[in-house]
Structure 1
Amino acid sequence: MPDTISQLPDKQPILRVMPMPADVNPQGDVFGGWIMAQVDVAGAIPAMHRARGRVTTVAVNSFLFKQPVSVGDVVSFFAEVIDTGRTSIKVRVEVYAERHPAQPITVKVTEAVLTYVAINQHGEKQQLPGVM
C-alpha cells in the first residue's frame, strides 16, 4: 500500500524539482542516484545555515526508498537539523512526490538521515558557532 498523504507537510520545502527524461533508468523510473544527489543538496542547506558556512557530507546514516519517482512528478524535499555535535550536524530529509496533475496525489517517496561536518576555507573541520 502506498504511503499516501492528502497534502505536503505544513512547512516550506527546502528544494523543489521536476525530474526530466534524462534522469530515468530503462524501466522509466528516476535513478536512485539522482534522488540521492538531490537529498544531499537539500540536507546541506540547513546544515550550512547551522554552521554559518561550509559543510561537507561525511555520512549517509540511513536512506529508504519508499516509492518510485517518475518524470513529471513535482518532487519536494523537506530538511531539518535533528542533532548537532561539536563539528557535526545531522539532518533528516523527507521527500514527497506530487503526481497526476489531473487528479493529484502526494506520496512520500524517500526518507534519509545524513551527517555533515562544518569546515573552514581550507577544508578542515571547524567547531560549530555557539558550541563550547
Structure 2
Amino acid sequence: MTDTDQLETPLTAPDDQPVVRVIAMPADTNPEGDIFGGWLLAQMDLAGSTPAFDLARGRCATIAVDAMVFHQPVSVGDEVSIYARIIKVGRTSIRVHVEAWKRPRASHTVSRVTEGVFTYVAIDEDRKPRPLPEAR
C-alpha cells in the first residue's frame, strides 16, 4: 500500500477516539478569516507524535510530512478532532497517517478537512537516532 492509497476519502470519521480535540479560535486565523493551515498542521503533528512516542517509549523528532492534503477550510468555532494511526515502522522511524475532521458549532455533521503522513524518528538524549524498542 502506498502513501497515496492512505488518502482515500472515507464517508465517516474513524471509529476510534480522537488523539486531539480542540476548538479553532480567532487568534488562529489568516486575514481572510479561515484558520491558518500552519495551525492545523501543528495540531496534526502533536496528534501524530502521540502514537509515535508511545511506540518509541520516549523522545521522537518529526522528520517529514508527506502527502498533505487540505480538503476544506476550518472556521472559527469549529471543533477539530484529529485521529492518528501508525502505518509503518522501521528500525528508528515511525510513519503515522493523521486525519483532521471538523464539526461546526451549530451542527452534528463532521467532515474531513486535512490529512497527511508524518514520519518521526526515535532519538536519544544526544538527539541522535536510536533503534525502536522490541515490540511489547
Higher strand share: 1
**RMSD over aligned Cα atoms:** 1.6
1:119-130 correspondence to structure 2 within 5 Å: 119-130=123-134
Is residue 79–residue 105 contact of structure 2 (8 Å, CA) maintained in 1?
no
**Regions of 4+ moved over 4 Å:** none
Q: Is the 8 A contact 2:122 2:132 kept in 1?
A: yes
1:91-110 map, 5 Å? 91-101=96-106, 103-110=107-114
Give 2:43's aligned residue: 38
Matched, 1:21 2:39: no
Give the direction of change, closer, same or farther, for the CA distance of 1:93–1:22 in structure 2 (3 Å limit): same
Q: 1:66 aligns with which of 71, 74, 92?
A: 71
- Is there any run of 5+ residues in structure 2 with no aligned partner, and where? 1-8
Among candidates 112, 117, 129, match of residue 116 of structure 2: 112
Give, in whole Å, the separation in 2 of the partners of 1:4 and 1:30.
23
Gaps of 5+ in 1: none
Contact 2:101/2:111 (<8 A) preserved: yes
CA distance in 1, matches of 2:69, 2:23: 20
TM-score scaled by structure 2? Answer: 0.88
Shift of residue 4, structure 1, vs aligned partner: 8.9
Q: Distance in 1 between matches of 2:67 and 2:44?
A: 12
Q: TM-score, normalised by structure 1?
A: 0.91
Identical counterparts, % of pairs:
50
Distance across 2 between alignment mates of 1:55 and 1:65: 25
| Alignment-mate amino acid for residue 112 of structure 2 | K
